[in-house]
Structure 1
Amino acid sequence: MTSGPESNPYQPPASDPTPPETPASTSAEQRPDLRIKDPRNWGWATISFIWLNCLTITLRQVRVEHPAWLVFLALAVALTLLCAIVSYMLWLFRVAVNAQIISPNSGPSPGWAIGCYFIPFVNWLLPAMVMKEIADASFRGKPHKGTGYLVAVWWTSFILLNLCLSFRPESIFVLILSWIAGVAVSWLILRISLRQVDLRESGLPKGPRPVLLPTSGPRPVAATRLPQPVRSDAPAGRPGPPSRPGGNEETRGVSGAEDW
C-alpha cells in the first residue's frame, strides 16, 4: 500500500492557487446600489406644480369673458397638470426604490407603483394602497397614526374631483376638492421625503437587535464578591489586649486583622 500526499492524513491540504471568487472581489458594476437617494427635489417640484394647478383652477372661477384670458387659463391648467403628473411619477418611483432599501421585505416594487395608475378599474383603489405601503416601509412599519387617514382623505377627494370634472366641470366643488387633494398629497410627500432623507443622512437602519430576556440563572462572576486571597508571607497578628474579668469570651484573642 503506497502512501502519498493524497492519502497521508498528517499532510496539510494543498492550497488552491486560484481561490474562488468572493463577493468582495466582484466588480462594483455588478453590485446593486443600496444607497438611499434624495427625493426632495422631485417632491418640491410636485408640490409646486400641484399648487399652481390649484391656483389656475381657482382663477377659472373668475368670470372674465375675454378670449385670450380663457385660452391662457386653459393652457395653464393643462400645463401645470402635466408637469405635476410627470414630477409626481418621478418622485413616486424614487421613494418606492428607497422604501425597498429601507424595508426589503415590504413595500411595492417601483414598476408596480407607477403601473397601477394606468390599469383600468384597478386605479380606483390600488394607488392609495401603494402610497400607504410606501409610507409604512419608509417608517419601518410604525408611521404616524394619522397617515392612513391622510391617505384616505387624499384619495377620496381625488376620486370625487375626477367625477366632478366629468359631470360638473364648472361646479364650485371642483375648486374645493382640488385644494383638499392638493394639500393632503403635499403633506404626504413632505412626510415621506423628510423621513427618507433622515435615514439617508444617518445611514441605513440596521436590523432589530436581539433582546436579552431576564433569566433566573446564576449571577455573573463580576457581580459576585469573591474571597480575598491570603498572602503566605503576611506577618502574624499581634495579640489582642488582655480580657477583663467578666468580659465577653468572643473578644478574647482578637488578631490584628485590621492591620492586614
Structure 2
Amino acid sequence: MSSDTDPNPYLPPASGSSPPGLPGGFPGQPRELRIKDPRAWGWAAISFISLNCLTLTLRMVEVGHPGWLIFIALSILTTLLGAMVTYLVWIYRVASNTKIINPHSSTSPGWAVGSHFVPVANWVLPAMMVKEIADGTFRPRPPKYTGYVIAVWWVSLMLHNIAMTYQSDSAFIPVLGWAAGIGAAWLIIRISARQWELRESGLPVAPRPVMLATGGPRPVSATRLPQPTRPEGAPLHRPGPPSPNRPTPAAPEKEV
C-alpha cells in the first residue's frame, strides 16, 4: 500500500513545480521561439542609406571652399558606416526570424552577416542570402518580381563600388547609388513587414500539423441513406393502420 507521501499519479502536478528540462515543462520540449521586430533596424538602415546617397550626390557639386570637401568626406564616411552597421544588424535579425518561420531554411544568421566579409565570395553570397531570406519569409513562394529587385539592387551596388574604386569622379556614381538604395529600401520594407505579420507568441520548431479528414463513422444527420426506387406508374404505397380482419401471424411454438 502506498503511503500518504507518495504522489498521486491521477492528479495534475502542482502549478509551482515543473519537471527538469527546458522551459517547456518537459525534457526535450523546444524553447518558445518569438519573432523579433526587424522594422526599427530596417528603417535605420534605410535612413543611413538615403543620407549616404544624398552625400554622394552633393559631392558632385563643385565648391572651392576646402571646408566643404572635408564636410562631404566626413559625411560620406559616417553615413556609410552607419548604413553598414544597421544593415548587418537587420540582416541578422531577419535571418533569425526566417529560421523560426521556416525551420527547413538553410539560411544561418551568422553566415548571413559573415558572407559580406569573405573575399571574392562577397560579390555573390550576400545577394544569395537575401534571396533565401525572401524565399523563407514569403511562404510558399515570394512574388515573382522579388528576384528582379534583388538582381537590380545587387548589380547596381557592385557597379557603384567599382566606380568608386576606379573612377571616383564619375557622374554615374550617384545614379547607381540611388538605384541600389531604392532596391535595398524596397526589400527591407517588404521583408520586415511580412515577418512582423507572421509574429506569434510561440512557434514550434516544426511546421504546425494539418488536420486531415478521417474515415471514421459520420453522424446519422450527415449520412445520406439510400432511397428505395419505385417503378414508373406504380401506385404510391403508404403504410396505414392494421386491419381488424387481417389474421395475426401465430407465434412460433416453443420446443419442450
- Describe the superposition over 1:98-137 as per-residue Cα deviations: whole angstroms up to 9, x where unpaired: 0000000114111100001100011010110000000111
Question: Where do residues 75-86 of structure 1 align in structure 2 (5 Å cutoff)?
Answer: 75-86=74-85
Q: Which residue of 1 aligns with 2:223?
A: 223
Counterpart check, 1:39 vs 2:24: no
Give the distance between the partners of 2:114 and 2:127, measured in 1 at CA: 13
Residues in 2 aligned to 1:251 and 1:74: alpha-carbon distance in whole angstroms = 101
Please state how far the C-alpha of 1:175 moved relative to its aligned partner: 0.7
Contact 2:32 2:202 in 1 (8 A): no
- Where do 5+ consecutive residues of structure 1 fail to align? 1-14, 228-248
Deviation at 1:255, TM superposition (A): 2.7
Q: Deviations over 1:110-169 (max 9, x none)?
A: 110000110001101011000000011111241111111111111111111111011111
What's the % identity of the aligned pairs? 51
Amino acid at match of 2:210: R
Question: Measured at CA, do residues 174 and 194 of structure 1 come closer, stay the same or move farther in structure 2, by a change above 3 Å?
Answer: same
| Larger-gyration structure (1/2) | 1
Question: C-alpha distance in 1, partners of 2:60/2:35?
Answer: 43
Are 2:176 and 1:177 aligned?
Answer: yes
Q: Residue 210 and residue 43 in structure 1: after superposition, are their counterparts in 2 closer, same or farther (change >3 A)?
A: same
Partner of 1:25: 25
Which amino acid counterpart does residue 168 of structure 1 have in structure 2? Answer: Q
The corresponding residue for 1:63 is: 62
Aligned residue number for residue 165 of structure 2: 166
Select the structure with the greater relative contact order (CA < 8 A; seq sep ≥ 6).
2
Structure 1 residues 140 and 73, CA gap change in structure 2 (3 angstroms): same
Distance (Å, rounded) in 1 between the aligned partners of 2:72 and 2:162 = 21
Alpha-carbon shift at residue 256 of structure 1 (Å): 5.7
Alpha-carbon separation, structure 2, partners of 1:53 and 1:251: 90
Q: CA deviation at 1:224?
A: 1.9
Q: Distance in 1 between matches of 2:236 and 2:25?
A: 78
Alignment of 1:66-105 (within 5 A): 66-105=65-104
Residues 155-190 of structure 1: CA distance to partner in whole angstroms, max 9, x if unpaired?
111111111011111101101100000000000000
Contact 1:161-1:178 at 8 Å conserved across structures: yes
Residue type at the aligned position of 1:25: G
Please list, as runs of the form range in 1=range in 2, the aligned pairs for 1:190-205 lying within 5 A after superposition.
190-200=189-199, 204=203
Pairing 1:127–2:126 present: yes
Aligned-residue offset at 1:32: 3.8
Are positions 1:255 and 2:240 aligned together?
Answer: yes
| Deviation by residue 1:49-107 (Cα, 9 ceiling, x = unmatched) | 00000000010111111100110000000000000000000001100100000000114
Q: Are the counterparts in 1 of residues 55 and 76 from structure 2 also a CA contact under 8 Å?
A: yes
Q: Specify the code of the residue in structure 2 equivalent to 1:255.
A: G
* TM-aligned CA distance change 1:197 to 1:164, over 3 Å: same
Shift of 1:200: 1.1
For 1:20 and 1:195, how far apart are their aligned partners in 2? 37
Taking structure 1 as the reference length, the TM-score comes to 0.73
Inter-partner Cα distance in structure 1 for 2:132 and 2:236? 79
Report the aligned-residue RMSD.
Answer: 3.5
1:104 maps to amino acid: P
Residue in 1 aligned with 2:115? 116
Q: Contact 1:99/1:107 (CA < 8 Å) preserved in 2?
A: no
Gaps of 5+ in 2: 1-8, 10-17, 228-233, 243-256
| Cα 1:250–1:61 shift into 2, 3 Å | closer
Residues 103 and 251 (structure 1), Cα distance of their counterparts in 2 relative to 1, 3 Å cut: closer
Contact 2:134 2:191 in 1 (8 A): yes
- Structure 1 residues 184 and 226, CA, compared in 2 at 3 Å: closer, same or farther? same
Q: How many residues align?
A: 216
1:71/1:250 Cα in 2 relative to 1: closer, same or farther (>3 Å)? closer
Supply the AA of the counterpart residue of 1:207.
R
